[in-house]
Structure 1
Amino acid sequence: MQSQQRLLVVLAHPDDESFLCGGTIAKMSERGVHITLLCATKGEMGRRMGNPILTSRETLPGVRVRELKSACKELGINDLRFLHVRDKTIEFESFDLLEERIVKVIREVQPNALVTFHEKYGGHPDHCAIGRAAEFAFLKSGDPDFYPDPVFPAFKVQSLYFVLWHAFYDEWLKENGLSRITRVNIAGTLQKKIRALRSHRSQTLAVPELWGNQKPNLPFLKESEYFIKGNLPTIIEETDLFQTIESRG
């Protein structure tokens, strides 16, 4: 059995990783966790192209891929992969095919934990669609009869988490309470998160406060990031994505 902990992050667009869970990713990386990011699209339909404009619609996909690679270096992401789905069309892709492709990555990477979007609280059709597919892949990857593969056998991921964007925190709390929330303190890696966000220049130059000399007072740059437990006991209060895994031995 592999000794190094592994985290698979399945998201929709370049910059999702930095905005939503960059501090947590950096914190896990500092602890020696091997991190794979599976990004569904290249963000080619993004509305922002810099401020002032630094790219065109034709060159934007290449720009955003380069920006994502730079952000991955800042956050300590070891392995970057793409599904090459067209931006803003994930919900129209074959669900079975998406699920199968994510299952194959799970079986190859063999992560201990998987982070993705919540189907309801994703906030964007692409987010919700890739989150739904990733959740089903999480459930099916350990079934040897589901898309059997002679190279990469069935593998069951131990823990599933959904990113909880600040804009949906109060809504989740009102409907579900605190029992399924994992809060990760990212005070020690907040600067890495800021540098990763700055790597996404085409998207963040339009946020002048992010580029100032003072500490940005932005809602997505607080000292905590939040996750919804997808499959863990709600009686356990978690402050770390691997806390429950390690307590189980």
Structure 2
Amino acid sequence: MDLLSGIQSSPKRMLVVVAHPGEETFPLGALIDRYSKYAVLVGLICLTRGTSDPQLARSRETELRKAARTIGVSQLYLWSFKSPLAEADNNELTARVVQIIRLLQPQVVVALSPGADADVTTVARVVASAVPAAADEHRFSEHLAKGLPLHQVKKLYYLTSPLPPDDAEAQDEYYPPTTVIQVAHSVRAQRGAWAEYLSRAADIPAFEQSLAEQAGKAYLHLLQGTPSRRAGQPFEEDLFAGV
């Protein structure tokens, strides 16, 4: 069985895209673990090594690989784009993400919502462009020549905050969330994954504060796709609902 056939034999597939090592765990770790435990094949793209220091970059790669295994990532793609990502070739970034979408054929794609971090914002914008491009025969047709089929992602989500913006006048188009996933049973795995990041020990207080704010839930905003809520429920309760 070739890689493409093996991947596509998994009935449910999710792709998570982040800018830096660690973001797959803080804040996404419990969400990834929750779905990997439900037999979802989870692919992860990390676009940078998170640092320009070669020695630290090697440490971050090791930490990322260990953390990804802890939370059940099936396919890891660690790239070496440099920060700031806004200065990278946007077409190349998009093409690379489209290629993985066409390879994995995920029904669901998740990224962090645009925010204070410039690289995270760039990744969010790239993913929002890559999802429709993956289904367009006129975009990156060289993939088709290599045997990668077009693919229509069913749902694209941004992870968002359970809390409104600190500034009452701030506008956040991804708040309030459309989707709330129960992840309490996966917080232990998330903590285990974060423990692999020895180089980020200074961020432990922020990590614990984030867990307290989330209170065993993951909050997301459906950017592309059709929401599917149970009757009488204000939020979606499953990323794959309606897929």
TM-score range, shorter chain: 0.7 to 0.9
Task: Map 1:57-76 to 2 at 5 A.
Answer: 57-76=53-72
CA–CA distance in 2 between the matches of 1:218 and 1:29?
Answer: 24
Letter of the 1:20 counterpart: P
Helix, strand or coil: the match of 2:151? coil
Task: Please say if residues 36 and 79 of structure 1, whose CA atoms lie closer than 8 Å, have aligned partners that are also in contact.
Answer: yes
1:28 corresponds to: 35
| TM-score normalised by L of structure 2 | 0.83
Task: Please say if residues 238 and 244 of structure 1, whose CA atoms lie closer than 8 Å, have aligned partners that are also in contact.
Answer: no
Helix, strand or coil: the match of 1:68? helix
CA–CA distance in 1 between the matches of 2:41 and 2:119?
Answer: 26
| TM-score normalised by L of structure 1 | 0.82
Counterparts in 2 of 1:130 and 1:111: CA distance versus 1, 3 Å: same
Counterpart check, 1:197 vs 2:197: no
Task: Please say if residues 138 and 156 of structure 1, whose CA atoms lie closer than 8 Å, have aligned partners that are also in contact.
Answer: yes
Decide which moves more: 19-28 or 180-189: 180-189
CA–CA distance in 2 between the matches of 1:218 and 1:126?
Answer: 22
CA–CA distance in 1 between the matches of 2:56 and 2:133?
Answer: 35
Deviation readout 1:88-116 (Å, 9 max, x if unpaired):
22111111111111111110111111001
**Structure 2, unpaired ranges of 5+:** 1-7, 230-234
Letter of the 2:51 counterpart: E
CA–CA distance in 2 between the matches of 1:208 and 1:42?
Answer: 20
Cα-Cα RMSD: 2.4
- The Cα shift of 1:2 comes to 4.2
2:108 corresponds to: 113
CA–CA distance in 2 between the matches of 1:58 and 1:179?
Answer: 40
CA–CA distance in 1 between the matches of 2:174 and 2:194?
Answer: 30
1:51 corresponds to: none
**Structure 1, unpaired ranges of 5+:** 46-56, 211-215
- The Cα shift of 1:14 comes to 0.4
2:48 corresponds to: 41
